[in-house]
Amino acid sequence: MNWRWVILIVILLAIQATSLTKLRIYYKQTEDIQRTIPLPPENFLKLIRLEFSGLLSDFIFIQAQETLGNRKTGEVTTETFNRVVSLNERTVAIDPYFLDPYYLAQALVWYSRGPEEIRRINQLLITGAEYRTWDSDLLFYAGFNHYFFLKEYRQAGDLFSQAAQIPGGWTGLAGLAAKMYHRGRDTAAGIILLKSMLLRTTDKEIRKYLEARLDQYQTMYYLESAVKVYQEKFLIPPRQIEDLVTAGIIPSLPVPPKGQKFYLDIQGNVDIEREAAAKNKGINK
Amino acid sequence: MAIEFENLTKVYQTGFRRKAVTALTNFSLAVEEGEVFGFLGLNGAGKSTAIKILLGLINPTSGRATIFGQPGSDPAARHRIGFLPENPYLYDHLNPNELVSFAAGVAGKNSRQVVSRGRELLERLDLAKVTTQPVRLFSKGMTQKMGFIMAIIHDPDVIILDEPMNGLDPLGRRIVADIITELHARSKTVFFSSHILNDVNRLCRRVAVIHRGSLHYLGRVDELYDGAFRYHIRLKGPASELTGVSAPLTGNMEYTELLCPQEELIPTIEKINNAKLMILSIEPEREELEDVFIRIVTEGQNEPNS
Amino acid sequence: MNRIPNIYHLAVITFKEGIRNRALIGVFIISLVMMVINVTFINFFMRDLGKVSVDLGLSTVSLAGLILVLFIGLNLISKDLDKKTIFLILSRSVSRTQYLLGKFAGLMGLIIVSMAIVGLVSFLSVLVIKSFLAGVFFAKGFSWWTYFLAWAMSVVSLMTLTAVGFLFCTLTSHVFVAMVITSLVYLIGQSLPHIQELVLARQQVLKVSDAMKVFIQILYYIMPNFSLFDLKLQAAHGLPVDPGHIFWAVLYGLVYTTVCLWLADLVFKKKEFV
């Protein structure tokens, strides 16, 4: 009587499949509800983690990824953004050394809708850098966000400068920091950074790079001082960089690196760029 | 003295209200070296309590229990003891070989000697085929036998057995009884408790009966056993012709049946003879242990014979 | 009189009784499954794959150890009391102290051997991930030595927990009650350092009365601080481990274990086996 069993099993399977499809609606609903349930506070998570901090942080991070992955449309709503960042904050509260939540947060910056959201992510990154002392990436991300989104050059310079001092990091960070300080009208800070880096560096290639940068920013600092003197003397800023020579403030223009040119931008700041670009920006003012 | 209980009293405090339950009252008993001694009593009479105090498993409220003069709470005193608890529970996942080597090991016995003795005992008690099987697969009787081996493997001077015949089949009982007799022949002291009068009669010279925590009888087992006999007498003729004998059980004009205690047998036969009646049969009738207890307990505490 | 042999013989039967327990095979199978999961689990992550695999590997070791101690280890001593197997032992020339030490030694043997097996499986799973799947995603400072230390400290933690369990087994002689209380002590011991941190924080997040503060402080010194033995994050991120940390934590564990066993012995000596 085997066929009876076969029929019974088929019926049971059919019932099971039907109920599963019916239940999927409710499952979807609970998913939506789940997304709005307040997250447990960090202190609570710290209490229940016992000795499984690592594992708990992994699971919370998966939640963050899920929240981001299950969004209904391509855009990231403020709701989703906040929830993912909150989940990331909790993940790193449990395991502050975990790289992935910082990495995901940085990816989220591109979906941010205002400076407050970016500052929140930067806060996360900077806290992370306090723990991941060997890792220049987090400071680099934070610096980049200050520079690119917030246009806060000095803060960006500070962060790049911290990143540059982490051993084994990217050499270009010191130059980048100096550039930010220059943009933030604090060229001197960049010069101090480059000098201190030179004191600690023995690698010939890196020294060569740092020396070239130092030379460049020292020249720009010299030109910036000349601009200040010009302004005090004539009460108006110079129109173009050559005015400094014709007015007799400096004997001659310093020699720029090959193929590059010093110029004054729209705000009257000294800058250096490739010759072609410089012509477009500065001279025809 | 191999074993001595002196004025032992034990009061248990039980439950939340610390209700006092007296298990032993002023209990005294001495077992001589080389003796096989039977310890009788109904359930809850205090047998196990006395044995546990002797082994140092519980402390007496007052009095003391000693093994060769040393208190049982001293591990050194227990060195010469082998003990089989009532309904022993052995380690589930161990096999007889491991249990035997453990039991011998804690006695600090030379292993080569013990291995051959262990093998011999396992062989005799029909466990030789299962020496590598975990004991959780054993029947009650097999577990009992295994516990018995563990109690005697290290050749102790005093062997204490709590209901050793429990769960054993007739053949098992026979073998255990034989081993006890052999131990007696090697002048070991065996102290065992039992329900079964027959086993006691077969093995012991002296017994003690304990009831409600105090000693009710101490003496030779045959005296206890003798008292347990009655005779069932059938005779031809009516009972009315007899005078001065125990009340007849049944009777009509043709036949009479009588129950008479052992000590009245000869006088009764004489009376029947005098009445010129014909005896058809005289059969001994054994009392059950319960009857013995009831008799001893109702008679009041016998003065222990010395 | 033959003190050490008695402890040894007891340890041997306790170890054998424990290692043949079927629940132990269950623990091994669960850890094996966890390790297989480990290989796929890392796919849910972006960069710190090494950390995630070490997390899962070492957490499985700890979890298996907890199950072992709470569900198998405590049973091995409670069952002795419950089923009166202890009569067979204490009726011999074995003192109660020897009994406790023998049982503890056997249990430690069981824990070390089982943890070695689970630890080896976890080591292999991380090794496979490091060698074939995600070697570049391991922390720069990652070292197998730290991994081993984290494993070893897990064992020290389990030793301390076992001693706590022994104490409650002798106090209650009821396996379920002992298990519940020991679990509670474990939970409190793991989270108490954080509670203490919260309560005594300079910037008060919680409003706590002074009496409560004193109570928490006292509790902090009485309860076993199990979080001291946790080196999983250090192993996962390749953080340096101070030898002083190891030294003091091991010393702490040993002292705590000794005190618990000593108290258990005091209780055990007074105990009546009715």
Structure tokens at A198: 């030179």
* Residues of B with Cβ-Cβ distance to C17 under 8 angstroms: 91-94
User: SS3 of A196, please?
Assistant: helix
Query: Which of C93, C95, C271 to probe the B interface (max B CBs under 10 A)?
Result: C93
Whose CA is closest to C225, among C266, C273, C190, C270? C190
Distances C117 to A93, C23, C27 between C-alpha atoms, Å: 33, 15, 11
* Whole-angstrom distance, CA of residue C225 vs CA of residue B279: 90
Contacts of B279 (CB under 8 A, 6+ apart): B233, B234, B235, B269, B272
Number of domains in chain A: 1
Q: Residue A274 burial by CB count (10 A; 0-12/13-18/19+): exposed, middle or buried?
A: exposed
User: SS3 of B234, please?
Assistant: strand
Name the more confident of C212 and B190: B190
CB contact under 8 A, C226 and A52: no
Whose CA is closest to C93, among B156, B110, B84? B156
Whose CA is closest to C15, among C80, C87, C79, C111? C111
Enumerate the β-bridge partners of residue B207.
Answer: B38, B219
Strand B229-236, strand B278-286: pairing: antiparallel
What sign for the dihedral angle of Cα C152, C157, C161, C166? positive
Domain that holds residue A119: 42-132
Tens of pLDDT, residues A208-231: 888 888 888 888 888 888 888 888
What are the φ and ψ backbone dihedral angles of A114, each rounded to 5 degrees? 175, 165
The DSSP code sequence of C82-110 is HTTTHHHHHTSS--HHHHHHHHHHHHHHH
Helix, strand, coil share of chain A (percent; to 5): 70, 5, 25
User: SS3 of B50, please?
Assistant: helix
Tell me how many degrees the CA angle C231-C234-C238 measures, rounded to the nearest 5: 145
Neighbour count for residue C188 (Cβ, 10 Å): 16
User: SS3 of A26, please?
Assistant: helix
Structure tokens at B104: 């011998």
A195 contacts A214 by C-beta, under 8 angstroms: yes
Round the average pLDDT of chain A to a whole number and report it.
85
* Residues of C with Cβ-Cβ distance to A95 under 8 angstroms: 233
Within a domain: residue A64? yes
* Whole-angstrom distance, CA of residue A116 vs CA of residue A119: 5
CB contact under 8 A, C85 and B105: no
Residue of C nearest to A54 (CA): C55
* Whole-angstrom distance, CA of residue B2 vs CA of residue C107: 37
| Residue from the list B55, B93, B94 with its beta carbon closest to the beta carbon of C91 | B55
pLDDT at residue A284, rounded to an integer: 42
| Chain C CB within 8 Å of residue A59 CB | no
Taking 50 as the threshold, does the pLDDT of residue B301 lie above it? no
| Residue from the list C190, C205, C237 with its beta carbon closest to the beta carbon of A51 | C190
What pTM, to 2 d.p., does this model score? 0.83
Distance from CA of B39 to the nearest CA of C (A): 18
CB contact under 8 A, A54 and C232: yes
| Residue from the list A47, A50, A53 with its beta carbon closest to the beta carbon of C233 | A53
Tens of pLDDT, residues B9-56: 999 887 777 788 888 899 999 999 999 999 888 777 888 899 999 999
C58 contacts C151 by C-beta, under 8 angstroms: yes
Confidence of residue B286 (pLDDT cuts 50, 70, 90): low
A251 contacts A244 by C-beta, under 8 angstroms: no
Structure tokens at B107: 């006695």
* Whole-angstrom distance, CA of residue C205 vs CA of residue C200: 10
| Chain C CB within 8 Å of residue A70 CB | no
* Chains B and C in direct contact, meaning 3 or more beta-carbon pairs closer than 8 angstroms: yes
Neighbour count for residue C54 (Cβ, 10 Å): 31
B111 contacts B101 by C-beta, under 8 angstroms: yes
Distances B53 to B27, B34, B47, B214 between C-alpha atoms, Å: 12, 21, 10, 15
Strand B62-67, strand B158-162: pairing: unpaired
ipTM, two decimals: 0.89
CB contact under 8 A, B52 and C274: yes
Residue with tokens 């020249």: A219
* Whole-angstrom distance, CA of residue C206 vs CA of residue A44: 13
* Whole-angstrom distance, CA of residue A278 vs CA of residue A275: 5
Confidence of residue B304 (pLDDT cuts 50, 70, 90): very low
Structure tokens at B236: 């031809």
Distance from CA of C63 to the nearest CA of A (A): 9
Residue with tokens 């109920």: A19
Amino acid code (one letter) for C185: V
What sign for the dihedral angle of Cα A9, A15, A18, A22? negative
What sign for the dihedral angle of Cα B210, B216, B220, B222? negative
| Residue from the list B88, B89, B92 with its beta carbon closest to the beta carbon of C17 | B92
Residue with tokens 């505490």: B301
User: SS3 of B73, please?
Assistant: coil
Whose CA is closest to A165, among A211, A141, A189, A201? A201
* Whole-angstrom distance, CA of residue A128 vs CA of residue A36: 27
Whose CA is closest to C186, among C212, C211, C159? C159
* Residues of C with Cβ-Cβ distance to B111 under 8 angstroms: none
Mean pLDDT in residue range A134-160:
89
Distance from CA of B12 to the nearest CA of C (A): 9
Listed in sequence order, the DSSP H helices in B128-169 are 140-152
Amino acid code (one letter) for B44: G
Structure tokens at B103: 């039991």
* Residues of B with Cβ-Cβ distance to C16 under 8 angstroms: 91, 93-94, 98
Whose CA is closest to C57, among C86, C36, C78, C83? C36
| Chain C CB within 8 Å of residue A41 CB | no
CB contact under 8 A, C187 and A53: no
Structure tokens at A24: 């999927």
Domains of chain B: 3-89+156-225 (3.40.50.300), 229-286 (3.30.70)
Q: Which residues of C touch A (CB under 8 A)?
A: 41, 44-48, 51-52, 54-56, 58-59, 62-63, 140-141, 157, 186-187, 190-191, 194-195, 198, 205, 226-227, 229-230, 232-233, 236-237, 239
* Whole-angstrom distance, CA of residue B269 vs CA of residue B276: 10
Distances A183 to A115, B30, B118, C230 between C-alpha atoms, Å: 20, 107, 94, 47
* Residues of C with Cβ-Cβ distance to A97 under 8 angstroms: 51, 233, 236-237, 239
Name the more confident of C56 and B262: C56
Mean pLDDT in residue range A102-128:
90
Q: Among A34-48, B115-129, B237-251, C200-214, which range has the highest average pLDDT?
A: B115-129
Residues (pLDDT < 50) of chain C are 1
Name the more confident of A281 and B27: B27
Confidence of residue A122 (pLDDT cuts 50, 70, 90): very high
* Whole-angstrom distance, CA of residue B24 vs CA of residue B9: 5
C37 contacts A26 by C-beta, under 8 angstroms: no
Contacts of C124 (CB under 8 A, 6+ apart): C35
| Burial state string for C165-182 with b = 16 or more CB within 10 A and e = fewer than 16 | bbbbbbbbbebeebbebb
B61 contacts B84 by C-beta, under 8 angstroms: no
Within a domain: residue A230? no
Domain ranges of chain C: 3-270
Tens of pLDDT, residues A75-105: 788 888 999 999 999 999 999 999 999 999 9
Neighbours of chain B (3+ CB pairs under 8 A): C
* Residues of A with Cβ-Cβ distance to C45 under 8 angstroms: 58, 61, 100
Strand B36-40: give its sheet, edge to edge. B81-84, B158-162, B189-194, B36-40, B206-211, B214-220
CB contact under 8 A, B106 and C10: yes
C103 contacts C15 by C-beta, under 8 angstroms: no
Amino acid code (one letter) for C169: C
Within a domain: residue A112? yes
| Chain C CB within 8 Å of residue B275 CB | no
* Residues of C with Cβ-Cβ distance to B55 under 8 angstroms: 87, 90-91
Within a domain: residue A50? yes
Confidence of residue B77 (pLDDT cuts 50, 70, 90): confident
Query: Which of B70, B89, B106 to probe the C interface (max C CBs under 10 A)?
Result: B106
Amino acid code (one letter) for B260: C
Whose CA is closest to C111, among C253, C248, C263? C253
Distance from CA of C61 to the nearest CA of B (A): 25
User: SS3 of A110, please?
Assistant: helix
